[in-house]
Amino acid sequence: MKLRHIPLLFLMGFILFPCLGVAEIKFSDRIEEYSLDNEMKVILIQDKRSPIVVSSLWYKVGSSFEYPGVTGISHILEHMMFKGTTTTEAGEFSRIIKQLGGSENAFTGRDFTGYYQKVHKDYLETCLKYESDRMVNLMLNQEDLRTEREVVKEERRLRTEDNPSSKAYEKIGMQIFGLQKYGIPIIGTMEDISNITHRI
């Protein structure tokens, strides 16, 4: 880079930074926060440019809440949340979202597990109904758990065991933190995944 371009870069920086600050203020002005009677926190961010809504439910639980012997249980539970409730069949929630033209997914982290649906705004109530159902009425049976254990073991093989960079990242985490809190692999150890039962 030629030195004569440096003043131009600084000038561009001074022009862009104030713009970024304005965008941040406008975004934060759109955030509304509520607490429900059951102490659940609701964060609402409105964007009316499109008739689409994203419903995202985050639980404050992840791999950092686990301990040796039950690693990976948060991630397994994420999978099991799609297996049906006392009032809905396994996969029914997913089928409904697809029929409504929407999409959905879930994810597990160290401090959280999240579930989301992206649908037309008219179907937000449907999403919330199914989320509340599986929050309260989730059915855990041994057969579904056995199936999901194998799915997660294969996921671990593909993403960690057969991936040198992921394997190295996991080992570094264990070296730094030990097998506790942030050193625990999010997906769990292969041994612990194999031993998870619905009674834990």
| pLDDT interval class at 133 (50, 70, 90) | very high
Catalytic residue positions? 78
Q: Whole-model pTM?
A: 0.80
What is the residue extent of each domain of the chain?
19-195
Across the range 174-197, mean pLDDT stands at 93
Q: Which residue has the higher pLDDT, 75 or 30?
A: 75
The pLDDT of residue 200 is above 80: no
Confidence of residue 14 (pLDDT cuts 50, 70, 90): very low
Mean pLDDT score across all residues of the chain: 88
DSSP string covering the chain, please? --GGGHHHHHHHHHHHHHHHHHHHHHHHHTEEEEE-TT--EEEEE--TTSSEEEEEEEES--GGG--TTSTTHHHHHHHHTTS-BSSS-TTHHHHHHHHTT-EEEEEE-SS-EEEEEEEEGGGHHHHHHHHHHHHHHB---HHHHHHHHHHHHHHHIIIIIT-HHHHHHHHHHHHHH-SSGGGS-TT--HHHHHH--TT-
Give me the pLDDT at residue 92, please: 95
State the pLDDT at residue 18. Answer: 52
Domain 19-195, classified CATH 1.20.1250.20, yes or no = no
